[in-house]
A and B are shown apart, each in its own frame.
Chain A
Amino acid sequence: MIEEMRTVDEAPPREVQREQEARLLRAWRAPTGIRYWSAVNNSVVGLWYTAATLLFLAFGGVLALLMRIQLAIPNNRFLDAETYNQVFTVHGSVMMFLFAIPIFEAFSILFLPQMLGARDLPFPRLSAFGFWVFLFGGVALCSSLFFGAAPKGGWFMYPPLTSAYQPGVGADMWLLGFSFIEVAAIAASVELIIGILMARPPGMRINLIPLYSWYVLVAGLMVLFAFPPLILGSLMLELERAAGWPFFDAARGGDPLLWQHLFWLFGHPEVYIIFLPSVALAAMIIPTFARTPIVGYTWIVLSAIGTGFLSFGLWVHHMFTTGLPLLSLALFSAASQAVAIPTGIQIACFVGTILAGNVLRSVPMLYLLGGLTTFLIGGLTGVMVAVTAFDFQAHDTYFVVAHLHSVLIGGTIFPFVAAIYYFYPLVDGKLLSDRLGRIGFWLLFFGFNVTFLPMHFTGLLGMPRRVYTYAPGLGLETLNLVSSLGALLLVAGFAVFFWDLFRSKKHQSVCERNPWNAGSLEWLQEMPGKTYGVRSIPEVDSRYPLWDQPNLTRDVDEGRFYLPDAEEGKREMLITSVIDAQPLQCMRVPGPSYIPLLAAFTLAGVFLFPTFKMWWPAVFSSIAALAVILYWLWTGTGQIPEKPEKNVGHGTVLPIYVSGSKSAGWWAMLITMLAVFTAFVSLLFAYLFYWTRSEEFVPASYASGNPYGAWAALGLTALAWLCCVEAKRQNELENRGAFYLACGASCAAAGLAGVAFFGVPAAHYLVADQSAFAASIWLFAWWNVVSLGLGVIMNLYCVVRRWAGRMDGRHDMDIVNTRLYWHFAGLTGIVSAGILLTTGALQ
């Protein structure tokens, strides 16, 4: 066996080091003044993102306090029923969509590059775009409450309550607003997954990556597969509300239960999307304070992956009382019990690490242990409600409220507060107050338990959720009053925490470097940090490099490793291989720009104008958004470099331009398309769901109708796909004419395929608002028309790039990614046409 020797270069002279550092600072400088808002550095965007999620947490908390005031005494008149309904809906939605999920993305954008010794994530503008989308969507939703126009159907928006019975704009705001915000979540996932797989420091093999990365990788992948069913469900419900397409209207062949399936296909994995990053934080913090490496690294990886998969088999345990077959309930109950195993393994590993080490008492550990204890209580009551017989009794009562808050507060808020105390020096170079941290913790811990422990009993006594008041004499008064008093303690705890976080620290001295004496790479950072992150990108050969690699900090600071300079004034980072982190590419990333802000702003119009039935502004916004995104791609991606290769230091020469499966952009396209295809698979699920539920779902006239339209759609889609594949080949061969011809043929075939898709429901005289079947067929048609239309735009984009000399046979990223898109668009079209063809036969 040949051991690879880790070497470091000779340090350049001090004068050279200073010049290198100055160039790095210039290249990575975050803009100031009004241009500050065009920043794309992860250290700035991550900070905005985190601050915004904390503000939304505070807003959701105030709403919770309003509810507790209302419920403190029976027959209270503090809030009326209408307002209370809006308040609990917005509270749940804000906490889930605007705090619990985005806080992990915000934290990861802020700290993941440091944990990986990277200068930034591979798509900084995508991070900024995601943040602006999140902010615009969140502010729109929250502000609706002040106009009495907020959603009021609960955070899960069950129809028909949210369709036929709620005519206002509130439900539309929820459906379109959160679909918009989910775009931000998917954008962040793409960024984080590729960052973990391809932006690691050389030597950081897959068995050495920080556990935080494993968890974020799993959670990011879960977002890709969990969010699309909800996006599809939201689209369908909005179509029912806005255009009368009766997907969930039982009277016209729809089924309201389908919404519950689509929602919980998202909703249960979402619990683990929230929880896993919190465990990840514990896995980073506990070894530091136990002064020992984590016990059971591989077991924790097993748990992260296992939990990710198992969480997709639990969704029906939110629907135990909907009358599903008993055998179904048995299957979901078994899966719900099984997920406790990996969760238990993780906690056992943490306890093992604490026992194996010599634990230092600290505020982060206090919050972590408090959080794990609280989560354990929620986990155990979760096992209780996973037992169907018990769930039948406890369903929709305050017992479930107590359970879910134990899981979410114990599994999210406590660990994230711990992480804020732990990581704060990386942001500001200063420590938060130990004394205020302890006071805040005990207020929060007691406040939480005084608030939520009584709710178990309130629920067992039969108090239902989501009621704005209750009658006296039912034995609920004392328990509710205690819960409300506990809420005041919680408020006090949060007030102390926020004060400590936001108080001025101008007169506080900068803390020492690596103040916790941690072993992980992010603590290489100087205090306060520099915009370029690390001075040179190190070579890593341990899970705890700061503990195990002697002189690492000195070697990094002296620029002895990779990319110690920015000679061309460009922002550069290393792309490495997925398994062994071998250097593959010196990737150039774009700098500050208003384009992400503008793209988010125009896209906001696409989603938010339809809420108010403002169709023309929505159309103009769509055109504007498309124009901005094309400009973004034209100016910011696929740039042909002035030289093919670059010496990145440490004796390594790497290409600057890479296309295909070795490029980060190709993987971004693949991951995005996986999410889109998952939404399409959800549509197939919905269609099959209808099909199994009713023998009359497919009308006899359709079954006996002519199949030519569907055959044409199938053939033309396949032709468009193949022409794009051929275009890529002709580009590679430098046959310009044949390339243009193939792209044109692909566009023409796609156009005709779109006509054929529309022709199928039109030829059968299907009217979308007449039945769920007709609506489904029209949705298939529209889906493919949009998908093919995007393919046409991408083909034309490649033609113009080639014509303008921005793409050739060697620099072919655009057409390679377009071909990848067509693989998915082609498959979607062919499967859709297949469904249209076989529906009649199956009938």
Chain B
Amino acid sequence: MKAPRPEAAAEERQGLWLLAWPPAVWLLYFLTSYGVVSVFCSGSPRGTADAVTVRGVIFALGICSLSGIGAIAWGGWTRYQLPGEMSSTGGDSSEDRHRFLGFAALLICGLSAVGTVYLMLGLAIGRVCQ
């Protein structure tokens, strides 16, 4: 994919959402998993399921979350790849800011992905539903 041109760094095209989406995906995955476990594993009269089914559902949700985080990471990567060097002390041009937002998004995607994998590992260890 071609790197974006410098005009892509105009302020009106920027937003802080790119930094919030990856951990938000993690949080959504986390809360959904918690909800599924609460309904189906807590002995609730609303529904019961065996551990294999619950873990399977949550594992599938984890894969979806990782895909979403990966897509955002790609967006961060393309911003980071804007022509020019990233200044180690900040830099005051709009391109510097653009690269910063891309790099920060990329890093946050990494952390969110690790957090998601941690949850999936937790499922691998917890073999009993209730």
Contacts and interface: CB of A to CB of B under 8 A. Distances in A.
Contact of B100 (A293, A298, A692): A298
Contacts of B126: 326-327, 329-330
A396 interface: no
Interface string A530-549: 00000000000111100010
Contact of A692 (B27, B30, B38, B123): B38
Contacts of A325: 37-38, 41-42, 129-130
Contact of B42 (A302, A324, A342): A324
Given A331-B119, A337-B118, A692 B46 contact: yes
B24 interface: yes
Nearest to B88: A293
B93 A298 contact: no
Interface in A328-352: 328-331, 333-335, 337-338, 341-342
Interface string B78-93: 0000001000111111
A3 interface: yes
Contacts, number: 152
Contact of A333 (B27, B108, B122): B122
Contact of A327 (B41, B100, B121): B41
A301 interface: yes
Q: Which residue, of A3, A207, A338, has the highest number of chain B Cβ atoms within 10 A? A: A207
Nearest to B26: A309
Nearest to B10: A580
A541 B94 CA distance: 11
B59 to A, nearest CB: 12
Interface residues of A, number: 53
B33 A331 contact: yes
A401 interface: no
A335 B90 contact: no
Nearest to B115: A338
A168 interface: no
Contact of A338 (B14, B90, B114): B114
Contact of B24 (A203, A302, A309, A544): A309
Nearest to B89: A293
Nearest to A689: B38
Given A542-B92, A692-B38, A305 B19 contact: yes
A305 B11 contact: no
B124 to A, nearest CB: 9
Contacts of B100: 206-207, 298
Nearest to A293: B89
Nearest to B47: A692
Q: Which residue, of A548, A578, A579, has the highest number of chain B Cβ atoms within 10 A? A: A579
A568 interface: no
Nearest to B125: A330
B78 to A, nearest CB: 17
A293 B89 CA distance: 7
A310 B26 CA distance: 8
Interface string A293-310: 100011101100110111
Interface of A is mostly: helix
Contact of B51 (A3, A6, A327, A333): A327
A542 B39 contact: no
Q: Which residue, of A298, A312, A543, A693, has the highest number of chain B Cβ atoms within 10 A? A: A298
Contacts of A329: 126
A47 interface: no
B104 A302 contact: yes
Contact of A330 (B31, B84, B115, B122): B122
B41 A691 contact: no
B16 interface: yes
Interface in B53-110: 54-55, 84, 88-97, 100-101, 103-104, 107-108
Q: Which residue, of B6, B54, B115, B123, has the highest number of chain A Cβ atoms within 10 A? A: B115
B104 A313 contact: no
Contacts of A312: 27
Nearest to A301: B104
Given A205-B97, A306-B108, A333-B122, A327 B90 contact: no
B123 A3 contact: no
Contact of A579 (B15, B24, B130): B15
B20 interface: yes
A313 B121 CA distance: 16
Interface in A519-566: 541-544, 548
A480 B44 CA distance: 44
A577 interface: yes
Nearest to A345: B111
Contacts of A330: 122-123, 125-126
B1 interface: no
Interface string A1-28: 1011010000000000000000000000
A310 B115 contact: yes
A386 to B, nearest CB: 11
A305 B108 contact: yes
23 contacts: A1-B84, A206-B14, A207-B101, A298-B100, A301-B19, A301-B104, A305-B104, A306-B112, A309-B24, A325-B129, A327-B41, A327-B54, A327-B123, A328-B41, A330-B122, A330-B123, A331-B33, A331-B122, A334-B118, A335-B119, A548-B89, A580-B14, A692-B38
Given A206-B100, A326-B128, 17 more contacts: A206-B101, A301-B104, A309-B112, A312-B27, A326-B41, A327-B37, A328-B41, A334-B121, A335-B115, A543-B89, A544-B89, A548-B89, A578-B16, A580-B11, A580-B97, A692-B42, A692-B44
Q: Which 5 A-B pairs have the closest CB atoms?
A: A309-B23, A330-B126, A334-B122, A207-B100, A541-B92
Interface of A: 1, 3-4, 6, 203, 205-208, 293, 297-299, 301-302, 305-306, 308-310, 312-313, 316, 324-331, 333-335, 337-338, 341-342, 541-544, 548, 577-580, 582, 691-695
Interface of B: 6, 11, 14-16, 19-20, 23-24, 26-27, 30-31, 33-34, 37-39, 41-42, 44-46, 51, 54-55, 84, 88-97, 100-101, 103-104, 107-108, 111-112, 114-115, 118-119, 121-123, 125-126, 128-130
